[in-house]
Amino acid sequence: MKKFLFIATASISLFACTPKTAEITEKVEPSFPNEDVAMGDKLYVENCGKCHGLKTVTDYTPEQWKKIVPNMAAKAKIDSDAENKILQFVLWKTENK
């Protein structure tokens, strides 16, 4: 009986903690400077690995990315808001490798 109680209490406290940590990790990864860049990372992963594998951001220079992103955004059929966030993300990443 004692053992059962212990397990019950342990799982209750585990459940109580889970939503809090999930909230924090979902908001912004701490290494990103702002929400746009964090969102850009998400959008990049979601939209940019469909036709080819996800390209390594640091393989290209910022100058190349400024041409590549509009080009690929058209292929991926994403809106200009998503395009802008992806561009912010790749530019940030090339400067913070």
Which residue do the tokens 């910022």 mark?
62
Q: Does 66 bind ligand HEC (CB under 6 A)?
A: no
Query: Who's near 62: CB < 8 A, 6+ residues apart?
Result: 90, 91, 94, 95
The amino acid sitting at 75 is K
75 scored as a contact of ligand HEC (CB under 6 A) = yes
Residue 73 interacting with ligand HEC (CB under 6 A) = yes
Whether 90 and 67 have beta carbons less than 8 Å apart is answered as no
Does 50 interact with ligand HEC (rule: CB under 6 A)?
yes
Q: Please identify which residue in 36, 68, 84, 94 interacts with ligand HEC, judged by CB under 6 A.
A: 68
Burial of 68 (0-12, 13-18, 19+ CB in 10 A): middle
The minimum distance between CB 92 and ligand HEC, in angstroms, equals 14
Binding site for ligand HEC (CB under 6 A): 47-48, 50-52, 55, 60, 68-69, 72-73, 75-76, 86
